[in-house]
A and B are shown apart, each in its own frame.
Chain A
Amino acid sequence: MRVVAAMSGGVDSAVAASRMVEAGHEVVGVHLALSQNAATLRESARGCCTIEDAGDARRVADVLGIPFYVWDMATRFRRDVVDDFVAEYAAGRTPNPCLRCNEKIKFAALLDKALALGFDAVATGHYAQVVETPGGRRELHRAVDPAKDQSYVLGVLDAAQLARSFFPLGDTTKPEIREEARARGFFVASKPDSHDVCFIADGDTKGWLTARLGEQPGDIVDADGAVVGRHTGAYSYTVGQRRGLGLAKDTLDGEPRYVLQVEASTNTVVIGTRDLLGVDAVTGSHARWCGPPPEGVISVGAQVRAHGEEVPATAWADGEVVHVRLDERVRGVAPGQSVVLYDGTRVVGSATITDAALSTRPKP
Chain B
Amino acid sequence: MTRLDGPLSWSGRARAYAAKSKIYRVRHYLDHAATTPMRAAAIEAMAAQQQLVGNASSLHTSGRAARRVVEESRESIAGAIGCRPSEVVFTSGGTESDNLAIQGTFAARRDAGRVRLLVSAIEHHAVLDCVDFLVAHEGAKVTWLDCDASGVVHPETVQRAVEEDPDSVALVSLMWANNEVGTVQDVAAAAAVAHEFGIPLHTDAVQALGHLPLDVASSDVDLMSLTGHKVGGPVGVGALVLKRSATIVPLSHGGGQERGVRSGTLDVAAIRAFAVAVDAAARELLSESSRLVGLRDWLISGAMALGYDIEAGGTWVAGDATTRLPGNAHLIVPGCEGDSLLYLLDAAGIECSTGSACQAGVPQPSHVLLAMGLTEQRARGALRVTLGHTSTSDDVEAFLGALPAAVERARRAAGSR
Contact = CB atoms under 8 A, between A and B. Distances in A.
Interface of A: 21, 26, 28, 31, 33, 38-39, 51, 54, 58, 63-67, 69-72, 74, 76, 109, 112-113, 115-118
B17 A38 contact: no
A69 B343 contact: yes
Contacts of A58: 361
A38 B416 contact: no
Contact of B17 (A51, A65, A112, A116): A65
Given A26-B21, A65-B10, A65-B15, A109 B417 contact: yes
9 contacts: A38-B360, A39-B360, A70-B360, A72-B363, A113-B340, A113-B417, A116-B415, A117-B344, A118-B409
Nearest to B16: A65
Contacts of A113: 340, 413, 416-417
Q: Which 3 A-B pairs have the closest CB atoms?
A: A65-B14, A70-B361, A116-B413
Nearest to A41: B360
Contact of B409 (A31, A33, A109, A116): A116
B6 interface: yes
Given A65-B6, A113-B416, A72 B13 contact: no
B23 interface: yes
A33 B343 contact: no
B362 A21 contact: no
Contacts of B363: 72
A54 B409 contact: no
B359 interface: yes
Given A38-B362, A65-B13, A72-B363, 10 more contacts: A54-B360, A54-B361, A63-B14, A65-B6, A66-B17, A70-B360, A112-B413, A112-B416, A113-B413, A116-B415
Nearest to B411: A116
Contacts of A116: 409, 412-413, 415-416
B108 interface: no
A298 to B, nearest CB: 35
A65 B11 contact: yes
Interface string B1-32: 00000100011011101100101000000000
B14 A112 contact: no
A54 B358 CA distance: 13
Contacts of B14: 63-65
Given A64-B14, A117-B343, A51 B360 contact: yes
B18 A69 contact: no
Contacts of A26: 21, 23
B346 interface: yes
A5 B358 CA distance: 22
Contacts of A21: 17
- The residue among B23, B362, B363, B413 with the most chain A CB atoms within 10 A of its own CB is B362
A21 B16 CA distance: 12
- The residue among B13, B21, B361, B416 with the most chain A CB atoms within 10 A of its own CB is B361
A266 B346 CA distance: 56
B406 to A, nearest CB: 10
B236 to A, nearest CB: 21
Given A65-B13, A65-B14, A65-B17, A71 B417 contact: no
B95 to A, nearest CB: 17
Nearest to A112: B416
A151 B15 CA distance: 36
Contacts of B403: none
Contact of B340 (A65, A66, A70, A117): A117
Contact of B361 (A33, A63, A115, A117): A33
